[in-house]
Structure 1
Amino acid sequence: MARITAGVATSHVPAIGAAIDLGKTREEYWQPVFAGYEASRAWEREAKPDVVILVFNDHATSLMLDVVPTFAIGCADSYKPADEGWGPRAVPVVQGHPELAAHIAQSLIIDEFDMTILNEMDVDHGMTVPLSLLFGEVDTWPTRVVPVVVNVTQFPPPSGDRCWRLGEAIARAVASFPEDLNVQVWGTGGMSHQLQGARAGLINREFDNTFLDNLVADPQALRRITHYDYLREAGSEGIELIMWLIMRGALGPNVTQLHRFYHVPASNTAVGHVVLEAA
């Protein structure tokens, strides 16, 4: 049967994608960011996942603000890089796994999660930046992807606890899929940042590092963080961290941390990254 072997969490800062595409990764400003992913890229070459369930948010690119599903799952054969206003990134088309995606969708809906089914979608930096960070500049992505899209752009987003329980339900769905697959779950977005208003540029190192600590030390505490807590402590875009809880919920109670990285700043955000191995 299919099995979830590991989880990855990472920021998906759009400026990181631009730095890659413009050949700036070795510049003094950007080099520390990319150095923080070198160990994870080497690990991914050894781990060789067949499928990544990649949790991200669309930034009003494919899902416009007149249609905002709380949770959605991509069941397409492939997903093209989106044009976010300056042309699509010159990265490979993402290859889906429609059989696994359809199985997960059915299992989640029976498990009382009302998923929106996406049979066509272009994917923006929320997906392509994590793939670039973990796999580098390649001609073809070395894994197939099942996209899971979460609303963190329009109020009300789901709670962190609801996201955790979705991760648990995804784990049950994967475990019941009959094909032998090595599956990873990635949660993307965050960490603390705010892009507008009087607190634009907010970064909270203490909150971010406590969050990273508790992914291993006290994950249940993360389920209790409220929308207001995220807004107050991590800025208006800090709510993206609930997507990390889908990944963490899918891994079960015990994990081993293989790699952790935190850097400030990248553009106007904090960059966080962790690799967790399922027990």
Structure 2
Amino acid sequence: MAKITASVYSSHVPAIGAALDNGKSGEDYWKPLFAGYDYSKEWIRENKPDVVLLVYNDHASAFDSNFVPTFAIATGEEFQPADEGWGPRPVPVVKGHSRLAAHIAQSVIQDEFDLTVVNSLDVDHGLTVPLSLMFGQPEEWPCLVIPVAVNVVLYPPPSGKRCFAFGEALKRAVESFDEDLNVQIWGTGGMSHQLQGPRAGLINKEFDNAFLDRLADDPQALVDIPHIDYVRQAGSEGIELVMWLVARGAMQSKVVQKHRFYHVPASNTAVGHMILENP
């Protein structure tokens, strides 16, 4: 059967992709950030998955305000990098695993989650930036990727508790698949940041690091955090952290922390990163 062996958590700041794409990763501003992923690149080379379930949020590239599903899975064979207004990122086409994605949809829907099935979509920086941080700039991505989109853009987003339970359902789905696959699940977005209004530029290091502590050792302490606390403590875009709870819910209760990194700022955003393995 397929098995989830590890989870990766990372911010997906669009400026990170721009820095890579425009050859600025060696500049003094960006060096400390990219250095935080040096271990991760070595780790992923030694622990290359067959498939990544990549939990992210779309930024009005595949969905718009007329249609934003709470949870969606993409079942296509491949997904093109999205044009977000300045042309698509110069990164490889993302190749999917249609059979596993369809199986997950079947299993999760029967498990009482109203999952939207999407046959085709373009993927924006929310998905491609974490791939670039982990794999660099290859000619093609070294594994298959199943996009799993979560609404954290339009109110109301799903609760942290619902996201964690969704992760648990994803774990059950993967483990019932009849092919021997090494699967990782990645949770992306966050950490604390706010892009507009009087609090634009807000970063809360204390909240972020407490979240990282609990994510590894006590995730149940995070599942009941209400939406308003994310807004108050982590800024209007801090709600993206519920996507990390999807990935954590798909893991075992006790995990091995392989790497942890935190850096501010990256384009007025706090960057968090963690790698957890199932024992």
Same fold, TM exceeding 0.5? Answer: yes
SS of the residue 2:26 aligns to: coil
Corresponding residue of 2:56: 56
How far 1:181 sits from its partner (Å)? 0.3
In 1, distance between residues paired with 2:77 and 2:33?
Answer: 32
| Identity %, equivalent residues | 67
Corresponding residue of 1:74: 74
Corresponding residue of 1:202: 202
SS of the residue 1:268 aligns to: coil
SS of the residue 1:163 aligns to: helix
Residue 168 of structure 1 contacts residue 252 of structure 1 at CA under 8 Å; is this kept in 2? no
Corresponding residue of 2:223: 223
Per-residue CA deviations over 1:81-121 (Å, capped at 9, x if unaligned) read 00000000000000000000000000000001001111010
SS of the residue 1:215 aligns to: helix
Corresponding residue of 1:269: 269
How far 1:182 sits from its partner (Å)? 0.2
Q: How many residues align?
A: 279
Corresponding residue of 2:27: 27
In 2, distance between residues paired with 1:276 and 1:29?
Answer: 28
Residue 5 of structure 1 contacts residue 183 of structure 1 at CA under 8 Å; is this kept in 2? yes
Task: Indicate the RMSD between aligned Cα atoms, in angstroms.
Answer: 0.5
Corresponding residue of 1:187: 187
Letter of the 1:46 partner, please give it: E
Corresponding residue of 2:151: 151
Corresponding residue of 1:129: 129
Corresponding residue of 2:240: 240
Letter of the 1:204 partner, please give it: N
Residue 54 of structure 1 contacts residue 148 of structure 1 at CA under 8 Å; is this kept in 2? yes
Q: Which 4+ stretches in 1 moved above 4 angstroms?
A: none
In 2, distance between residues paired with 1:278 and 1:100?
Answer: 21
Letter of the 1:106 partner, please give it: Q
SS of the residue 1:265 aligns to: coil
SS of the residue 2:9 aligns to: strand
Corresponding residue of 2:44: 44
Per-residue CA deviations over 1:121-159 (Å, capped at 9, x if unaligned) read 000000000000000010000010111000000000000
In 1, distance between residues paired with 2:218 and 2:56?
Answer: 23
Residue 71 of structure 1 contacts residue 150 of structure 1 at CA under 8 Å; is this kept in 2? yes
Corresponding residue of 1:259: 259
Letter of the 1:77 partner, please give it: E
SS of the residue 2:201 aligns to: coil
Corresponding residue of 2:101: 101
How far 1:43 sits from its partner (Å)? 0.4
In 2, distance between residues paired with 1:165 and 1:268?
Answer: 31
In 1, distance between residues paired with 2:101 and 2:256?
Answer: 27
Letter of the 1:184 partner, please give it: Q
Corresponding residue of 1:178: 178
Letter of the 1:233 partner, please give it: Q
Residue 80 of structure 1 contacts residue 94 of structure 1 at CA under 8 Å; is this kept in 2? yes
In 2, distance between residues paired with 1:268 and 1:79?
Answer: 29
How far 1:217 sits from its partner (Å)? 2.2
In 1, distance between residues paired with 2:147 and 2:116?
Answer: 12
How far 1:209 sits from its partner (Å)? 0.1
Corresponding residue of 1:9: 9
For structure 2, list consecutive stretches of 5 or more residues without a partner in the other structure. Answer: none
For structure 1, list consecutive stretches of 5 or more residues without a partner in the other structure. Answer: none
In 2, distance between residues paired with 1:217 and 1:58?
Answer: 29
In 1, distance between residues paired with 2:185 and 2:199?
Answer: 32
Residue 215 of structure 1 contacts residue 248 of structure 1 at CA under 8 Å; is this kept in 2? yes
